[in-house]
Structure 1
Amino acid sequence: MLQKPRRLFLISGPCVIESESLCIQIADSLRRTCAKLGINFIFKASYDKANRTSGKSFRGPGLERGLEILSWVRNRVGVPVLTDVHSPTEAAIAGKVADIIQIPAFLCRQTDLIEAAAKSPAIVNLKKGQFLSPLEMTQVSKKAAERGSGRILLTERGTTFGYNNLVADMRSIPILKSTGYPVVFDATHSVQLPGGAGTKSSGQSEFAPVLARAAVAAGANGLFIETHPDPGKAPSDGPNMIPLADMPHQLAALAKLHRVVNG
């Protein structure tokens, strides 16, 4: 998965699990594209979107069914899987199934959650809160490391910029890398307009490829990109997503840029 640190890696998939068949379709398409381009691929999807703007928004199939689907994707497609967790109990359970468990940006200061994730067998992906500076993530990563997890990823996903907007500061990449951990740039959540559509978030997906290229040029080790065959029909974060059909073209450009930057 991350055994070849000089290779670009991609964390990608739908925002939330909708069905087994859709997860298999997306995972298999991305696996084939990444294999051709020499990119290490990790499939991601959430079993529960516990932080939606509206209480009426779709949340997913839940912990038990969601982990069943992720396990099936890993076994059938042959790729590692990532999912996010929201409580210490979830971390202990999901950490036995997923290869990587993710601490959501909104929860990145929750010590009990981070420590529970660090005690699991999984790699821990710590997403930087929209309200934190990159330097503050040093303390967040220490919480995980002090509880036994030396397998940590740090993800930049934008910083709050007034109301309903985010800005991506590429200085964050080298600052996060100074911790010694691999750094991921979340290209699709960085173009989110949080709460910008009233009962849900909006986004500017046209800027996601631009920011992804900037992050690779700044030295990011990996990219986090949400995708869907039809973003307009995605139940969560569709306005931020890169369409699945566009991923081969975008990834080819990113892989080429990564080779240039890394010699």
Structure 2
Amino acid sequence: MKRTLLSLILPFLLLACQPKRSDNETKKEILRQKIAANKIRTEKAYQYDYRFGQPDTASAFLFQLTVYGTDGRAVYSSLYNRNDSTLNSREEYFYNRRGDDSATVVKDSEGSVTAVIRNEYDGQGLNTTRQFYNSEGQLDRKIVYTYDDQQQIKELTCYDAAGKMIYAFRYAYNKHGDEALSEEFNKEGKLVVKSQLVSDTDTSLHYNVYNGENVLTHKFFNTINGKRNVTKQGYIDMKDSSVHNTVLVYDKNDFIVERITYDPQGEPVQLTRIVREQ
């Protein structure tokens, strides 16, 4: 699980970030409806390296394939190894009668189950518990979510099989439901990372990130469009003042189709391209 803001803000699929608020469920439902309406059945993610400022087609490889049902819900997702494009692992998804994600079964390249993730929901459809089981069916850890009056996640706590806390997050939000404050605590309950929204406009969201000693470690700069989709993600590492940027490109249906990563010198280094097919 991605636990710090640095790892939360940069993943390829924005909706894949660990959930912060119930509005994410609304976004997931909107996405599901769009996938169904556009009759999308497969989603392929390719990665390219850059050579002389251009994507190098010789370096391209398929690293993720997701298959959808007619209702727009993912059936399974396969991950592939970069060196030889062989299957690395596969996730199979299961749903309850309401259509909520009830279980994910993770298998290795030979089809053996390596992990099972189960979700529990309350009467309002809010995800309250996420349980992780190992290949032997034993509980490894679980995550418990609590919500505020706006049904936004205010606390996320991870426990081991014995019920001891491993880590925890606490959240606060702005009027748009964007994360305004995030605090991460270790198993002793000590604050280790804090991210704070310091600038919120119609076109950008800026965050400062501090360590447990309240020392500024990173500055994040998100550029957003009129639909509040992130079109550019950038951050400054305060250790060496290096700047890192990622550009996100959307199609007319607001699906992410490209993610371009730049090095600190401003040169493109990697392209992730998403191809959706009926």
Which bracket does the TM-score occupy, shorter chain normalised?
Answer: 0.3 to 0.5
**Relative contact order higher in (CA < 8 Å, ≥ 6 apart):** 1
TM-score when normalising by structure 2: 0.36
Instruction: From the two aligned structures, give the one with the greater helix fraction.
Output: 1
Larger Rg: 2
Instruction: From the two aligned structures, give the one with the greater strand fraction.
Output: 2
